[in-house]
Chain A
Amino acid sequence: MWNYEKRLQFPVNIKEPNAKLAQAIISQFGGPDGELAASMRYLSQRYSVPYREVAGLLTDIGTEELAHLEMVGTIVHQLTRNLSMEEIEKSGFANYYVDHTVGVWPQAAGGIPFNACEFQVKGDPITDLTEDMAADGAAL
């Protein structure tokens, strides 16, 4: 089970909207190496890890990734609030806006919806940790 704290892991206070930037940042929300994939990767892999301390670590890391997801979602939200129709069209945000308006939907920068094929769970700890390193390195 989980507990929620009503604060961000690191404060986000964006004053100027920027829909163009939001379309790049959203990949860190729902893209292949985004925080949602990271969180689901760790929280799914942990069940089959035969060492309690490592399974516990994956739980804590997967939980921290959820906090990252919330920060990235906040960045996208603050970059897209109070946009004018002119800014939406000029910044290339119109295609996203048609389907989601200013809602934050997990997708990659290219519009590909989030799905579980972004990560792997093989039930073997070395294989899974190797995939974690590849994914975490890509997200750096």
Chain B
Amino acid sequence: MGGQEKLLRDIGIVDFVLVELTEYLDTHPFDRNAMEYFNHYARIKHQMSREFAQKYFPLTKEMAESDKEWRWGMAPLPWEGACG
């Protein structure tokens, strides 16, 4: 697995944790233990997304600051796959 593929997978793992914790916290809004986990992984997700945008391409428009070319539009699309 190359660096780009590895980082994207790690972002996938961390965001999956966030999705799961979000859905749990929606109905358990006072569970401080779960909130601590959420806060921890949300910070990691943000750092990883910034690193991915700097090295490869922006995953969100918030990370798409551009000068020479429109980086958001030039980014590969997720359904292309690794062999796309």
Contact = CB atoms under 8 A, between A and B. Distances in A.
| Contact, chains A and B (beta carbon distance below 8 A) | yes
B26 A8 contact: no
A64 B57 contact: no
A9 interface: yes
Interface residues of B, number: 27
B75 A74 contact: no
Interface in A1-34: 3-15
Contact of A11 (B12, B72, B76): B12
Contacts of A6: 57-60, 72, 75-78
Contacts of B9: 11
B36 to A, nearest CB: 19
Contacts of B76: 6
Interface string A33-71: 000000000000000000001101100110010000010
Contacts, number: 66
B19 A7 contact: no
B33 interface: no
B62 to A, nearest CB: 8
B22 A60 contact: yes
B8 A11 contact: yes
B16 interface: yes
Given A56-B26, A61-B23, A70-B78, A15 B83 contact: yes
Given A4-B60, A5-B60, A57 B78 contact: no
Given A56-B26, A57-B23, A57-B26, A7 B79 contact: no
Interface of B: 5, 8-9, 11-12, 15-16, 19, 22-23, 26-27, 29, 57-61, 72, 75-79, 81-83
